[in-house]
Structures are given as structure tokens and as C-alpha cells.
């Protein structure tokens, strides 16, 4: 394993310079997108500054940390384009954190660096740094959270637990899907304490997980599941795929309370699963009929990593990396389940938080293949 490697070797410094120049040029040419979803954050930022209730009430809590960032820039009359600069900087820090995690756990520095560069060039992730949307910051928070999770597992220090707790708060309150990371992390920590025979923490986290599950099922988070969307068989949000004219209320807050009834009585289990499979193909395939062929080709290039993900899932790595792998697998499994109950956004921005976990598992698969090939070559030369 490659432990103790510095973030700042020559390759990283060169990558930083090139990344900064490229993003600077793109930012100068295109600026930051402040329409559409961005209007929600600007509105909430102004409400925070004026001491008013957040837009959509309690449901905006799950975007609170990003709204506070926007409020800071508005308060001090800083041009909103600098939010994009902040998002680009956070994205590079996240890439460094991913690099460090891979350096500490994989046998090959070259593969770790390759996936560091891949993250910096990952269009499904990097695109949102030029939008005043929460995806860019949330995805960076996730990767930084994984880094502190890895440090916590390795060093077992209270300072690492505090750092991870702070990042968990930032993740939870930057997007509603932060709850997926929370659930995955709690599950992995329960597994970690059980395997470590630390039964005090094991039972504590088991009790905590029960509270978390009960809390989630009784929280506004479940209201982000819209029964009207399921009833209309939406694959792309607000684009019905049913022939019938079915009413749609964007903020239908009946959530899980009515969802299972809709699936059973209105949609049917078979149709629900067929629609879910189609949603999965749109979500992970990223293809859109209204994109240009060049755009779709670019997105398809990133699906090259998927076979390596499958290999990475079944490869046993070192003890600490076992928990990072498990965290990634559970995150992607929970995301997959969630897709069945939601819809995909027209520009596929919802895949952004999932991609770092795809890259972690793909890096594991690539490392295993490389090790196998080099091992066979060494044996053949003896």
C-alpha cells in the first residue's frame, strides 16, 4: 500500500495549473448560470438575510448550507461568479482527497493519479461548477467526507470523528440526497465496530441507526418522493409517459404515506418496476435524445468505467479500504433503490453525487487487473 504520500508532488501542481487555466477560460467565456434551479437558492439566500422563513418551509433545510454560501456572497456584494470560483476550488480539493484515499489503499500510484485526473475531467461532475446549483458543492463535500471517513477508520482519533461529523453536517444540509451518505456511513460504522469487537460502539451505532431510520421515515425527506410523478410514470421529471391526463402537483407532500398505495392501485407492481428499470438506464446511461450526438458520445465515454466497477465490487482489498468499498457499494445501492421512487432530471445532474463512488470502485477494479497482469508477467519471466 502507498501510505503517507504528499498531496503536492510535481504532477499535482502541474494538474492544478492546467485545471485552473482551463476553468478560468471556461468561466470567462460562459460565466455562471443563475437561472432555473439557481433562483431557488438566491431567493432563500435573500430570505436568510432578511430573517424570513425559507422558501418551501422546512423542505429548504436540506439546501441550507448552500443557501448560506449564496447569502454570504450577496451580503458582502461579491459577484456571484465567485461562487463558481469557490465551487471549482472545492472540486480540486475533493479531487486531492480522492487521490489521497486511492494512494493510501491501492498498490499502484499511476492508477491513483489516473483517477485523480479522471475526476478533474469528469464532465458529469465538473459541469455543475458553472451553475449556481448545489450539486457542485454537495459532490465535493461527499468526496471530502469519504477522505475523513478513511482517516477515521485508519487513525481512530476523536479529532477525525469530529472532522467527519462536521463534513456529515455539511453533506446533509447541502442536498436531500445527503441522507443516502448518512445511511451508508452509519451502516459501515456498525459493521466496523462489530468486526473490531468494540461492542459498546457497535450497540451505540445500532441504536443510532434505528433512530436515524425512524427519523427519516417521519421526516420531510420522504415528501421528496412525489406520488404524482410515480402515477404519471415519469422517467424525466415532469414529463409524463402515460396517455391519461393525470394531475400533477410539484410539491405533493404526501410522500411515502400515499406512494405505496399509488404503486399498488394506480400503477401496478409490474409497471412500476418496468418504469424503474427505464429510469436506471436513463440515470446511469446518461443518454438523452435531445442532446447532440457529440454530447451523448462524451457521456457514453464515462460508462467505460462501469465494467471496472463490477470487478471492483468483488475484489478484496486491505482492511481499511474494505470499508471505503462497502461505503461506495451501499451508497450506489441506496441510490439505485431511490431512483425507482423518483424521476431523473432532464440534464441528468442527479448522477453527479454518485460518480465519485463509481470512480472509487472502478479504480479498485483497475488496480486488481493491473496487479494480476503484472503478477503473471513476473511469473512468466522467471
pLDDT digit string (tens) for the chain, length 382 residues: 444 445 568 899 999 999 999 999 999 999 999 998 899 999 999 999 999 888 877 667 888 899 999 999 999 999 999 999 999 999 999 999 999 999 988 878 899 999 999 999 999 999 999 999 999 999 999 999 999 999 998 888 889 889 999 999 999 999 988 989 998 998 898 888 888 888 787 888 788 778 877 776 666 666 667 788 888 888 998 888 887 777 766 655 565 667 888 888 888 899 999 999 999 999 999 988 889 999 999 999 999 999 999 998 887 666 668 899 999 999 999 999 999 988 888 888 999 999 999 999 999 999 888 888 876 665 666 5
> What's the grid cell of residue 187?
451502516
Report the 3 state secondary structure along the chain: CCCCCCCCCHHHHHHHHHHHHHHHHHHHHHCCECCCCHHHHHHHHHHHHCCCCCCCHHHHHHHHHHHHHHHHHHHCCCCCHHHHHHHHHHHHHHHHHHHHHHHHHCCCHHHHHHHHHHHHCCHHHHHHHHECCCHHHHHHHHHHHHHHHHHHHHHCCHHHHHHHHHHHHHHHCCCCCHHHHHHHHHHHHHHHHHHCCCHHHHHHHHHHHHHHHHHHHCCHHHHHCCHHHHHCCCCECCCCCCCCCCCCCCCCCCHHHHHHHHHHHHHCHHHHHHHHHHHHHHHHHCCCCCCCHHHHHHHHHHHHHHHHHHHHHCCCCCHHHHHHHHHHHHHHHHHHHHHHHCCECCCCHHHHHHHHHHHHHHHHHHHHHHHHHHHHHHHHCC
What global pTM score does this model have? Answer: 0.91
pLDDT score recorded for residue 3 = 44
pLDDT score recorded for residue 361 = 95
Amino acid at each position: 500500500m502507498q501510505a503517507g504520500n504528499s498531496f503536492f508532488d510535481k504532477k499535482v501542481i502541474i494538474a492544478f495549473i492546467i485545471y485552473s487555466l482551463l476553468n478560468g477560460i471556461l468561466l470567462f467565456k460562459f460565466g455562471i448560470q443563475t437561472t432555473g434551479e439557481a433562483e431557488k437558492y438566491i431567493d432563500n439566500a435573500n430570505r436568510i438575510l432578511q430573517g424570513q422563513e425559507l422558501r418551501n418551509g422546512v423542505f429548504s433545510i436540506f439546501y441550507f448550507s448552500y443557501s448560506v454560501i449564496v447569502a454570504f456572497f450577496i451580503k458582502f456584494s461579491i459577484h456571484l461568479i465567485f461562487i463558481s470560483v469557490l465551487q471549482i476550488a472545492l472540486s480540486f480539493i475533493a479531487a486531492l482527497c480522492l487521490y489521497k484515499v486511492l494512494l493510501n489503499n491501492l498498490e499502484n500510484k499511476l492508477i491513483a493519479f489516473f483517477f485523480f485526473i479522471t475526476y478533474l475531467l469528469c464532465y458529469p461532475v465538473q459541469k455543475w461548477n458553472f451553475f449556481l446549483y448545489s450539486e457542485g458543492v454537495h459532490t465535493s463535500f461527499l468526496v471530502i467526507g469519504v477522505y475523513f471517513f478513511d482517516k477515521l477508520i485508519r487513525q481512530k482519533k476523536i479529532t477525525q470523528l469530529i472532522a467527519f461529523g462536521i463534513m456529515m453536517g455539511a453533506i446533509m444540509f447541502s442536498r436531500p440526497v445527503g441522507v443516502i451518505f448518512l445511511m451508508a456511513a452509519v451502516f459501515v460504522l456498525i459493521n466496523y465496530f462489530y468486526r473490531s469487537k468494540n461492542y459498546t460502539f457497535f450497540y451505540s451505532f445500532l441504536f443510532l441507526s434505528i433512530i436515524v431510520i425512524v427519523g427519516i421515515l417521519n421526516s420531510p425527506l420522504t415528501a421528496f418522493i412525489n406520488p404524482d410523478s410515480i402515477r404519471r410514470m415519469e422517467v424525466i421529471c415532469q414529463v409524463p409517459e402515460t396517455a391519461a391526463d393525470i394531475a400533477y402537483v410539484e410539491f405533493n407532500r404526501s410522500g411515502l404515506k400515499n406512494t405505496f398505495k399509488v404503486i399498488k392501485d394506480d400503477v401496478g407492481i409490474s409497471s412500476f418496476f418496468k418504469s424503474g428499470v427505464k429510469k436506471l438506464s436513463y440515470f446511469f446511461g446518461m443518454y438523452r435524445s435531445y442532446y447532440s450526438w457529440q454530447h451523448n458520445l462524451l457521456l457514453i465515454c464515462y460508462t467505460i468505467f462501469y465494467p471496472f466497477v463490477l470487478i471492483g465490487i468483488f475484489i478484496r482489498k486491505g482492511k481499511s479500504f474494505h470499508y471505503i468499498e462497502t461505503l461506495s457499494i451501499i451508497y450506489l445501492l441506496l441510490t439505485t433503490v431511490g431512483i425507482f421512487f423518483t424521476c431523473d432530471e432532464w440534464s441528468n445532474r442527479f448522477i453527479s453525487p454518485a460518480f465519485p463512488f463509481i470512480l472509487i470502485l472502478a479504480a479498485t477494479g483497475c488496480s486488481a487487473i493491473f496487479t494480476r497482469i503484472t503478477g503473471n508477467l513476473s511469473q512468466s519471466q522467471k
